[in-house]
Amino acid sequence: MEKFIPYGYQLIDKKDVEEVVKVLKSDWLTQGPKVEQFEKAIAKYCRAKYAVAVSSGTAALHSAYIASGIKPGNEVITTPLTFAATANMLVQCGIKPVFADIEDTLNINPKEIEKRLTPKTRAIVTVDFAGFPCSYDEIFKIARRHNLLVIEDACHALGSEYKGKKIGGFSDMTVLSFHPVKHITTGEGGMILTNNKDFYDKLKIIRNHGIVKKPEKSKWYYEIEHPSFNYRITDIQCALGQSQLKKLNRFIKRRREIVARYNKAFENVKEIIAPAEEDYVRSSWHIYPIQVQGVNRKKIFEGLQKMGIGVQVHYMPLHMHPFYRNKFGYKKGDFPIAERYYKRAISLPLYPKMTNEDVRYVIKTTKNIISHQLKTHE
DSSP 138-189: HHHHHHHHTT-EEEEE-TT-TT-EETTEETTSSSSEEEEE--TTSSS--SS-
Digit-coded pLDDT (tens) for 15-38? 999 999 999 999 999 999 999 999
Residues paired with residue 292 on neighbouring β-strands, in sequence order = 272
- Residue 90 CA to chain centroid, in angstroms? 16
Q: Would you state the pLDDT for residue 1?
A: 55
Alpha helix (H) ranges present in the chain?
14-24, 33-46, 57-68, 84-92, 110-115, 136-145, 197-207, 235-245, 248-266, 297-306, 322-328, 336-344, 356-376
**pLDDT of res. 305:** 98
Q: Can you list the residues of the chain whose pLDDT is less than 50?
A: none
- For residues 93 and 71, the answer to whether their CB atoms sit within 8 Å is no
Q: Which residues of 87-121 are buried (b: 16+ CB within 10 A; e: fewer)?
A: bbbbeebebbbbbbbbbebbbbbbebbeeebeeeb
Chain segment 209-236, per-residue pLDDT in tens: 999 988 888 988 999 988 999 999 999 9
CA nearest neighbour of 324 among 150, 80, 160: 80
pLDDT of residue 375: 84
* Whole-number Å distance between alpha carbons of 201 and 191: 14
Q: Domain ranges in the chain? A: 5-245, 248-376
Whole-angstrom distance, CA of residue 214 vs CA of residue 116 = 44
Cis peptide bond prior to 315, omega within 30° of 0: yes
Position 378 scores a pLDDT of 56
For the beta sheet containing 50-54, the strands, ordered from the edge strand earlier in sequence to the opposite edge, are 50-54, 190-194, 173-177, 149-153, 121-127, 75-78, 96-99
CATH 3.90.1150.10 for domain 248-376, yes or no, is yes
- The pLDDT of residue 215 is 87
CATH 3.40.640.10 is right for the domain spanning 5-245: yes
Predicted pLDDT of residue 346: 98
The whole-number pLDDT of residue 216 equals 87
0.85 exceeded by pTM: yes
Q: What type of residue is 368?
A: N
What is the DSSP annotation of 113-143? HHHT--TTEEEEEEE-GGG----HHHHHHHH
